[in-house]
């Protein structure tokens, strides 16, 4: 009886224990699956989940015809987890497990990336010196697809502590063509120079995000990737430039820079009636595909950022001002000696000695007489003459807003000394940028009406939105239509009757032009180097295009003659490109002498 009772007690106790144990498991199960289910799932996912950036493509830059000038390409950054760098085992071709040392692994990576194993090890050591638990450092940025694939293969062979991740880079299919204007981007694909910088807000997209489950070696598990935020690409920037025309002008100016041993040269082509810039060619020029291969001084657009004394290309501005003010006509007469010494004590001379000349205003431009310009120009008060130059845009930045754009120097007329009072009439004692000169000649070629110069047509987004479209600007009258036409006519006789006529004439076409030789003064000392320039318009009777050329320090043709062949070939190309028909009206007939 006692034995039976004892057995029942043991059974009851066992049942109670079982019930208690089951109860504990039930409570634990309820806690795990119900009470803390969400928290535990989140904790679990946090240990195996990862997030990645979906890089938004940077917007393209295209020319006026849609030709690609700058675009985005897929690249890859290779990162490493420094704290996890260690030897690992790999199955070789014989099916045997072998140990790969860190030194051997670094050598394998280096063979793919082009670095040295010492450089790679230094990256790891430097990261660990800062943070012994570091799990992130860049091994190399911006590698192409083949390199990415080779590194991915190494990762699959056991080198799990490297992580290739997709990013994007920049490509410029035309290389150095308009390179200084386009500019360049940094390692983060953000604009650092040129239009890439000034139009960065247009070109920059908005990155997206993705989430995925990863294995213990950091590889995304198939089928687990979800996009949490879509990437929004940048806008397409459309320029007024014509890529084909720019290519031709680039070859043209580069050839002359080399032939003349010049320091640099530029060519611009502008639509006279719209202010749209169709070409900016510069030599040497930046190749944005390889910035480090370009000397730092050439990583710019000299048309916007270099100032120079224009010389005699200024004389048409003086002539137009005189005619507009009613103080001269193309037939106005002047006796021009080699030297002119006005009563204020200034001393003016022409470039080369010559006998006394009886010139008209047209003849002053044809012979590029400084003394003749001075005698006629002194009829216009300095205050009014300053006002005309100011209205032509001298001493003003363009409306383009180009990064680092310089402003020409036109001192207030009250600060002109006796010599400067005269030299500003023929482009000395004043300096300009190439874009200022193009703007002044646009006003002259547009029959006296100045328009803002434009380089950007607009920024288009994938949803159809278009921004940055230049507003229709009201032309500003600088000189009268008649003054502009008469000045263009006199410039036409420069081409037909001037000292560079043989190098400038284009049979069948009326071309207006003026040459210039600008002096250089450094530290108050007149240099024996100079700027050779030429500017003009075609066709002269109803200008469509303005062409300007500048060469710095030509060594072999030591005058404005160095720029003449470039100007003529540039005008010929513009005629061909835009199908300008031969002139059907007689050319201007302003006699140069009386």
386 three-state secondary structure: helix
Alpha helices in 31-82 (DSSP H): 37-48
| CA 360 distance to own-chain centroid | 44
CATH 3.90.1310.10 domain range(s) in the chain:
51-82+107-239
CA–CA dist 591, 594 (Å, integer): 7
In the prediction, which pLDDT does 22 show?
73
- Calculate Rg over the CA atoms of the chain: 36
Q: Pull the structure tokens for residue 265.
A: 């040269």
Closest residue by Cα to residue 253 from 278, 298, 284, 288: 284
In the prediction, which pLDDT does 163 show?
87
Widest distance between CA atoms in the chain:
156
Q: Is 210 exposed, middle or buried (0-12, 13-18, 19+ CB in 10 A)?
A: middle
Residues whose CB falls within 8 Å of the CB of residue 253, separated by 6 or more in sequence, listed in order: 265, 266, 267, 281, 282, 283, 549, 566
Structural contact between residues 235 and 459, judged by C-beta atoms closer than 8 angstroms: yes
Q: How far is CA 27 from CA 19, 39, 40, 406, in A?
A: 12, 17, 16, 78
CA–CA dist 58, 242 (Å, integer): 22
In the prediction, which pLDDT does 48 show?
57
Q: How many CB atoms lie within 10 A of CB 454?
A: 20
Q: How far is CA 372 from CA 99, 154, 315, 515, in A?
A: 90, 79, 11, 16
In the prediction, which pLDDT does 183 show?
96
In the prediction, which pLDDT does 39 show?
67
Return the CATH number of 243-578, one of 3.40.710.10, 3.30.70.930, 3.40.50.970, 3.20.20.10: 3.40.710.10
In the prediction, which pLDDT does 93 show?
82
CA–CA dist 441, 489 (Å, integer): 14
CA–CA dist 289, 62 (Å, integer): 16
369 three-state secondary structure: coil
CA–CA dist 95, 415 (Å, integer): 89
Structural contact between residues 79 and 165, judged by C-beta atoms closer than 8 angstroms: yes
CA–CA dist 262, 266 (Å, integer): 11
CATH 3.40.710.10 domain range(s) in the chain:
243-578
Matching residue, tokens 């400067």: 420
Structural contact between residues 427 and 312, judged by C-beta atoms closer than 8 angstroms: yes
213's enclosing H/E stretch is strand 208-213
Judged by phi (left if over 0) then psi (alpha if -120 to 50, else beta), residue 298 lies in alpha
Q: Which residues pair with 227 in a beta bridge?
A: 210
Domain 51-82+107-239 has CATH 3.65.10.10: no
Q: Where are the beta strands (DSSP E) in 379-494?
A: 432-433, 449-450, 456-460, 466-467, 476-477
Q: What is the dihedral of CA 255, 261, 264, 270, to 10 degrees?
A: -40
Q: Where are the beta strands (DSSP E) in 474-524?
A: 476-477, 512-522
Predicted confidence pLDDT, tens digits, the chain (594 residues): 555 666 777 777 777 777 777 777 777 776 667 666 666 555 555 555 666 677 788 999 999 999 999 998 888 889 999 999 999 988 888 888 899 999 999 999 999 999 999 999 999 999 999 999 988 899 998 888 899 999 988 998 888 889 888 777 889 999 999 999 999 998 788 899 999 999 999 999 887 877 766 655 555 555 566 777 877 889 999 999 999 999 999 999 999 999 999 999 999 999 999 999 999 999 999 999 999 999 988 999 999 999 999 999 999 999 999 999 999 999 999 999 999 999 999 999 998 999 999 999 999 999 999 999 999 999 999 999 999 999 999 999 999 999 999 999 999 999 999 999 999 999 999 999 999 999 999 999 999 999 999 999 999 998 889 999 998 889 999 999 999 999 999 999 999 999 899 999 999 999 999 999 987 766 666 667 789 999 999 999 999 999 999 999 998 887 788 999 999 999 999 999 999 999 999 999 999 999
431 three-state secondary structure: strand
In the prediction, which pLDDT does 422 show?
96
In the prediction, which pLDDT does 30 show?
66
CA–CA dist 308, 517 (Å, integer): 10
Q: How many CB atoms lie within 10 A of CB 344?
A: 11
């Amino acid at each position: 009886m006692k034995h039976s009772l004892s057995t029942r007690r043991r059974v009851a106790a066992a049942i109670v224990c079982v019930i208690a144990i089951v109860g504990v498991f039930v409570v634990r199960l309820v806690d795990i699956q119900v009470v803390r289910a969400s928290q535990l799932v989140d904790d679990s996912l946090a240990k195996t989940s990862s997030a990645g950036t979906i890089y938004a493509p940077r917007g393209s830059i295209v020319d006026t015809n849609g030709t690609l000038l700058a675009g985005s390409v897929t690249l890859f950054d290779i990162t490493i987890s420094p704290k996890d760098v260690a030897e690992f085992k790999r199955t070789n071709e014989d099916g045997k497990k072998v140990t790969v040392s860190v030194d051997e692994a670094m050598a394998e990576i280096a063979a793919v990336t082009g670095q040295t194993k010492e450089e790679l090890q230094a990256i790891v050591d430097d990261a660990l010196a800062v943070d012994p638990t570091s799990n992130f450092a860049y091994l190399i940025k911006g590698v192409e697809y083949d390199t990415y694939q080779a590194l991915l293969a190494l990762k699959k062979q056991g080198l799990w502590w490297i992580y290739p991740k997709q990013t994007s880079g920049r490509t410029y299919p035309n290389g150095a063509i308009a390179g200084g204007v386009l500019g360049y981007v940094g390692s983060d694909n953000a604009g650092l120079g040129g239009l890439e910088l000034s139009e960065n807000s247009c070109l920059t997209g908005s990155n997206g995000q993705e989430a995925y489950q990863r294995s213990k070696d950091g590889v995304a598990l198939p089928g687990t990737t979800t996009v949490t935020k879509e990437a929004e690409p940048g806008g397409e920037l459309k320029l007024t430039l014509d890529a084909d025309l720019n290519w031709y002008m680039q070859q043209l100016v580069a050839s002359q820079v080399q032939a003349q041993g010049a320091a640099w040269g530029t060519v611009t082509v502008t639509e006279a009636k719209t202010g749209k810039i169709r070409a900016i060619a510069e030599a040497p020029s930046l190749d944005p595909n390889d910035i480090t291969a370009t000397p730092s001084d050439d990583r710019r657009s000299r048309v916007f950022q270099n100032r120079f004394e224009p010389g005699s290309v200024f004389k048409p501005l003086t002539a137009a001002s005189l005619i507009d003010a009613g103080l001269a006509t193309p037939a106005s007469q002047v006796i021009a000696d080699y030297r002119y010494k006005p009563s204020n004590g200034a001393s003016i001379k022409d470039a080369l000695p010559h006998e006394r000349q009886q010139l008209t205003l047209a003849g002053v431009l044809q012979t590029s007489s400084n003394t003749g310009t001075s005698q006629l120009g002194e009829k216009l008060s300095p205050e009014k003459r300053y006002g005309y130059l100011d209205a032509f845009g001298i001493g003003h930045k363009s409306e383009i807003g180009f990064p680092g754009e310089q402003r020409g120097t036109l001192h207030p007329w009250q600060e002109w000394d006796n010599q400067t009072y005269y030299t500003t009439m023929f482009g000395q004692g004043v300096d300009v940028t190439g874009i200022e000169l193009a703007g002044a000649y646009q006003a002259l070629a547009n029959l006296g009406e100045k328009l803002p110069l434009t380089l950007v047509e607009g920024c288009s987004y994938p949803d159809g939105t278009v921004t940055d479209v230049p507003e229709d600007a009201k032309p500003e009258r600088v000189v009268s239509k008649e003054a502009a036409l008469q000045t263009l006519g006199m410039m036409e006789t420069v081409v037909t009757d001037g000292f560079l006529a043989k190098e400038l004439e284009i049979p069948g076409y009326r071309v207006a032009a003026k040459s210039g030789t600008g002096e250089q003064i450094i530290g108050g000392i007149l240099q024996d180097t100079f700027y050779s320039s030429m500017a003009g318009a075609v066709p002269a009777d109803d200008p469509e295009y303005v062409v300007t050329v500048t060469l710095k320090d030509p060594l072999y043709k030591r005058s404005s003659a160095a720029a003449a062949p470039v100007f003529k070939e540039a005008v010929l190309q513009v005629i061909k490109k835009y199908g300008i028909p031969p002139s059907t009206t007689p050319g201007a007939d302003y006699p140069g002498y009386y």
